[in-house]
Amino acid sequence: MTLETEVQSLRQVPMFREVDPARLKLLAFTSERVHFADGQRFFDRGDAADAAYLILEGEAAVTLDGPQGPIRLALLGANALVGEMGILADQPRSATVTAVVPTTALRIDRRVFLELLSQFPQIAIAVMRELAHRLEMTNQQLAQMRTG
Amino acid sequence: MSGGAGAAERTGGGMAPAAGEVPAIAREDRAAGRDQAQAAARTGNDPEAADASGGLDRSLFRYIWRHSKRDQILICGVVLASLPLYFASLDLPRRIVNEAIQGHAFEKGNETTKFLVLRLQMPDWFGHDVALFPGFDVDRFELLFGLSSMFLLLVLINGVFKYWINVAKGALGERMLRRLRFQLFALIMRFSPEALRQTKASEVATIIRDEVEPIGGFIGDAYILPAFLGTQAATAMAFILLQNVWLGLLAAGVVGVQFVVIPRLRRELLRLGRQRQLASRRLAGRVGEVVDGIAAVHSNGAEAWERAEIGHRLGGLFDLRLRIYRRKFMVKFLNNLLAQMTPFLFYCIGGYFALKGQLSIGQLVAVIAAYRDLPPPLKELIDWDQQRLDVQVKYEQVLQQFLPDRLIGLDAPGRDESLCGRLAAEGVGVQEPHGPVLANVSLTLALPAVVGIVSDGGPAASTFARVLARRVVPTSGRITLEDHDLSEWSGAALTRRIAYAGVDPILFPGSLRDNIVYGLNRRPPETAAIDAKVLAEAHRTGNPVEPFPADWTDYAQAGVADAAALDALILDWLTRIGMGEEVYRFGLLGQVDPERHPELAARLIEARTAFRERLAAEGHAHLVEPFDPARYNRQATVAENLLFGVPTTSALTGRAMAEHPVVRLVLDRTELADDLITMGERIAATMLEIFRGLPSGHPLFEQFSFLSADELPEYEAILARRTATEASAERHGGSALNRIRRRWIGLGRYGSADATRLIALPLAYIEPRHRLGLIDDAFRDRVVEARTQLRTALDEAGMGGVDFYDPDQVCAAAPLRDNLLFGRINQSVADAVETVTATGTALVQEMQLAPAITRVGLDHQVGPEGRFLSSVQRAVVSLVRALIRRPDLLVLDGALSPMGENRARTVLGLLLERFGRENSLVVVLPNDRLADRFELVLRAAGTQIHGPERPAGPAASPADAPAGAGAAGPAAAVSGRAEDETGPESARVEQDVKA
What gap in Å lies between CA A144 and CA A131, rounded to an integer?
Answer: 20
Q: Is B686 on the interface with A (CB under 8 A)?
A: yes
**How far does the CA of residue A35 sit from the closest CA of chain B (Å)?**
5
What is the total count of domains within chain A? 1
- How far apart, in whole angstroms, are the C-alpha atoms of residue B693 and residue A116? 11
Residue B392: its pLDDT value, please?
85
Q: How confident is the model at residue A107 (pLDDT cuts 50, 70, 90)?
A: very high
Residue numbers in A near B695 (CB within 8 A): 119
DSSP string, B698-715: -HHHHHH-SS-GGGHHHH
Residues of B with CB below 8 A from A114's CB? none
Between chains, do A4 and B769 touch, taking CB under 8 Å as contact? no
**Residues B812 and B799 placed together within one structural domain of the fold:** no
The three state secondary structure string of B126-166 is HCCCCCCCCCEEECHHHHHHHHHHHHHHHHHHHHHHHHHHH
Closest residue in B to A42 (Cα) is B830
Closest chain A CA to residue B703: A30
pLDDT at residue number B712: 85
Mark whether B650 and B772 lie in a shared domain.
yes
Residues B251 and B377 reside in one and the same domain: yes
B382 and B433 inside one domain: no
Of B689, B692, B700, the CB nearest to A115: B700
Are the C-beta atoms of residues A90 and A44 closer than 8 Å to each other?
no
User: What's the confidence (pLDDT) of residue B453?
Assistant: 93
**B585 versus B57: which is more confidently predicted?**
B585
Q: Are residues B883 and B987 in the same domain?
A: yes
d(C-alpha B575, C-alpha B67), whole Å: 53
pLDDT for B104 equals: 74
Q: How far apart are CA B947 and CA B367, in angstroms?
A: 93
Within 8 A of B769 by CB-CB distance, chain A residues are 32
> How far apart are alpha carbons B869 and B515 in whole angstroms?
12
Alpha carbons B722 and B716: distance in angstroms, whole number? 10
How far off is chain A from B690, nearest CA to CA, in Å?
5
Instruction: State yes or no: pLDDT of B481 exceeds 50.
Output: yes
pLDDT, mean over chain B:
81
- Check: CB of residue B985 under 8 Å from CB of residue B445: no
Contacts of A40 in chain B (CB under 8 A): 830-831
- Among the partner-chain residues A6, A30, A34, the one whose CB lies closest to the CB of B828 is A34
Residue B246 pLDDT: 79
Closest by Cα among B604, B589, B601, B603 to B512: B589
- B450-454 and B920-925: which strand pairing? parallel
- Cα gap B405→B879, rounded to integer Å: 34
Interface contact B619, partner A, CB < 8 A: no
Contact call for residues B450 and B443 (beta carbons, < 8 A): no
Same domain for B815 and B789, yes or no, is no
Q: How far apart are CA B194 and CA B873, in angstroms?
A: 31
> Are B137 and B224 contained in the same domain?
yes
Q: Name the band, by pLDDT with cuts 50, 70 and 90, for residue B646.
A: very high
- Look at residue B979 and tell me whether its pLDDT is greater than 60: no
Residue-wise pLDDT for B529-546, tens only, equals 778 888 888 888 888 888
What pLDDT does B931 receive?
A: 86
Given an 8 Å threshold on Cβ–Cβ distance, is B690 in contact with A119? no
> Long-range CB contacts (< 8 A, 24+ apart) of B348-355?
B349/B246, B349/B247, B349/B250, B350/B244, B350/B247, B353/B244, B353/B246, B353/B247
* Subunit contact A23:B686, Cβ cutoff 8 A: no
How close does chain A come to B702, measured CA to CA in Å? 11
For the ranges A115-119, B227-231, B272-276, B866-870, the lowest mean pLDDT is seen at B227-231
Report the alpha-carbon distance of residue B563 to residue B567 in Å, rounded: 6
Cα of A26 to nearest chain B Cα, Å: 5
Residue B125 located in a structural domain: yes
Residue in chain B nearest A33 by alpha carbon: B828
Beta carbons of B704 and A29 less than 8 Å apart: yes
Contact A6/B704, CB-based, under 8 Å? no
* More confident: B636 or B698: B636
Asked if the model's pLDDT at residue B971 lies above 70, the reply is no
Complex ipTM: 0.87
Among candidates B699, B768, B827 on the partner chain, residue whose Cβ is nearest the Cβ of A115: B699
User: Residue B829 belongs to what domain range?
Assistant: 591-627+808-856
Query: Cβ–Cβ of A22/B770 closer than 8 Å?
Result: no
- What's the CA gap between B907 and B899, in Å, rounded? 9
Lowest mean pLDDT among B368-382, B497-511, B582-596, B862-876: B368-382
A3, A35, A116 member nearest B829 (Cβ): A35
Provide, as residue numbers in chain B, all residues whose Cβ is less than 8 Å from the Cβ of A3. Answer: 686, 770-773
B879 occurs within a structural domain = yes
- Residue B814 domain flag: yes
- The residue out of B406, B430, B457 marking a domain boundary is B406
Q: How far is A55 from chain B (nearest CA, A)?
A: 13
Whether residues B693 and A32 touch (CB distance < 8 A) is answered with no
Cβ–Cβ below 8 Å for B691 and A36: no
Find chain B residues with C-beta within 8 A of A1's C-beta: 771
More confident residue, B116 or B126: B116
Chain A hits for B831, CB-CB cut-off 8 Å, are 40
Confidence band, pLDDT 50/70/90 cuts, at residue B737: low
Q: Where are the alpha helices (DSSP H) in A52-120?
A: 84-89, 110-119
Q: Are strands A96-99 and A60-66 parallel, antiparallel or unpaired?
A: antiparallel
Cβ of A119 within 8 Å of Cβ of B704? The answer is: no
**Closest Cα partner for B612 from B825, B434, B467?**
B825
Nearest to B221 by CA among B409, B72, B2, B9: B72
Helix crossing, B140-188 with B212-219: angle to 10°? Answer: 140
Minimal Cα–Cα distance from A42 to chain B, Å?
8
Residues 6+ apart with CB under 8 A from B927: B454, B455
* Mean pLDDT value across residues B322-329: 90
**Total residue length of chain B:** 995
Which of A6, A25, A119 has the CB atom closest to B694's CB atom?
A119
Nearest by CB to residue A26, choosing from B690, B771, B829, is B690
- The band of B799, judged by pLDDT with boundaries at 50, 70 and 90, is confident
* pLDDT level of residue B739 (50, 70, 90 thresholds): low
For the ranges B325-329, B370-374, B396-400, B754-758, the lowest mean pLDDT is seen at: B370-374
pLDDT tens readout for residues B903-957: 888 999 999 988 888 899 999 998 888 888 888 999 998 888 887 888 765 544 4
If you measure CA to CA, which chain A residue comes closest to B769? A32
Residues 699-718 of B with CB under 8 A from A: 699-700, 703-704
- Beta-bridge partners for B137: B114
Q: Do B799 and B875 reside in the same domain of the chain?
A: no
pLDDT tens digits for B482-511? 888 888 888 888 888 999 998 889 999 999
- Contact pairs from chain A to chain B, CB under 8 Å: 59
Contact assignment for A33 to B830 by CB distance below 8 Å? no
Output the CA–CA distances (angstroms, integers) from residue B843 to B607, B611, B612, B819, in the order listed: 8, 7, 10, 14
Of all residues in chain B, the one with the smallest CA distance to A35 is: B829
B773 touches A: beta carbon within 8 Å? yes
**Do B146 and B232 share a structural domain?**
yes
Question: What CATH code is carried by the domain that includes residue A32?
Answer: 2.60.120.10
Any idea what DSSP says for residue B9? T
| Rounded mean pLDDT, B248-264 | 81
pLDDT, tens digit (0-9, with 9 covering 90-100), for A21-37: 888 888 899 899 999 99
Q: What is the pLDDT of residue B641?
A: 93
- Is the Cβ of B694 closer than 8 Å to some Cβ of chain A? yes
Residue B10: inside a domain, yes or no? no
pLDDT at B82: 83
Confidence of residue B733 (pLDDT cuts 50, 70, 90): low
- DSSP summary character for residue B941: E
pLDDT number for residue B124: 57
* Partner A contacted by B831 (CB < 8 A): yes
For an interface test with A, the pick among B683, B687, B688, B690 (most A C-beta atoms closer than 10 Å) comes out as B690
CB distance A30–B827 less than 8 Å?
Answer: no
User: Do residue B351 and residue B212 come from a single domain?
Assistant: yes
Nearest to B772 among A2, A26, A120 (CB): A2
Domain count across chain B = 4
B691 → chain A, closest CA residue: A26
Looking at per-residue pLDDT, the higher value among B55 and B901 belongs to B901
- For position B29, what pLDDT does the model report? 38
| Beta carbons within 10 angstroms of residue B973's beta carbon | 12
Range of the domain at A123: 3-147
pLDDT at B555 over 60: yes
- Is the residue at B744 inside a domain? yes
Tell me which chain A residues have a C-beta less than 8 angstroms from the C-beta of B686. Answer: 3, 25, 29
Kindly determine whether residue A30 and residue B692, on different chains, have CB atoms separated by under 8 Å: no
- Say if the Cβ atoms of B700 and A30 lie within 8 Å: yes
* Predicted confidence (pLDDT) per residue in B418-444, tens digit: 888 899 999 999 988 888 889 888 999
Query: Does residue B99 form part of some domain?
Result: yes
Q: Which residues of A touch B698 (CB under 8 A)?
A: 115, 119
Region B232-258 average pLDDT: 80
Question: B285-291: which pairs have CB atoms within 8 A and are 24 or more residues apart?
Answer: B285/B200, B285/B202, B285/B203, B285/B206, B286/B310, B286/B313, B287/B202, B288/B200, B288/B201, B288/B202, B288/B203, B288/B205, B289/B200, B289/B202
pLDDT interval class at B7 (50, 70, 90): very low
Instruction: For an interface test with B, give the residue of A2, A20, A29 to mutate (most B CBs within 10 A).
Output: A29
Same domain membership, residue B425 and residue B362: no
Tell me, what's the pLDDT at B123?
A: 52
What is the DSSP-derived secondary structure letter of residue B956? S
Distances from the Cα of B756 to the Cαs of B657, B674, B744, B753, in angstroms? 9, 11, 18, 5
The Cα B889–Cα B580 span in angstroms is 26
Instruction: Answer whether A26 sits within 8 Å of B691, measured CB to CB.
Output: yes
Q: Is the pLDDT of residue B306 over 60?
A: yes
Task: Determine contact, residues B809/B661, Cβ cutoff 8 Å.
Answer: no
Shared domain check, B614 and B481? no
CA distance B593 to chain A (A): 36
pLDDT at B96 over 90: no
Q: What is the mean pLDDT of the segment spanning B568-590?
A: 92
| Subunit contact A25:B830, Cβ cutoff 8 A | no
- Asked if B768 and A120 come within 8 Å (Cβ–Cβ), the reply is no
Q: What is the mean pLDDT of residues A87-93?
A: 87
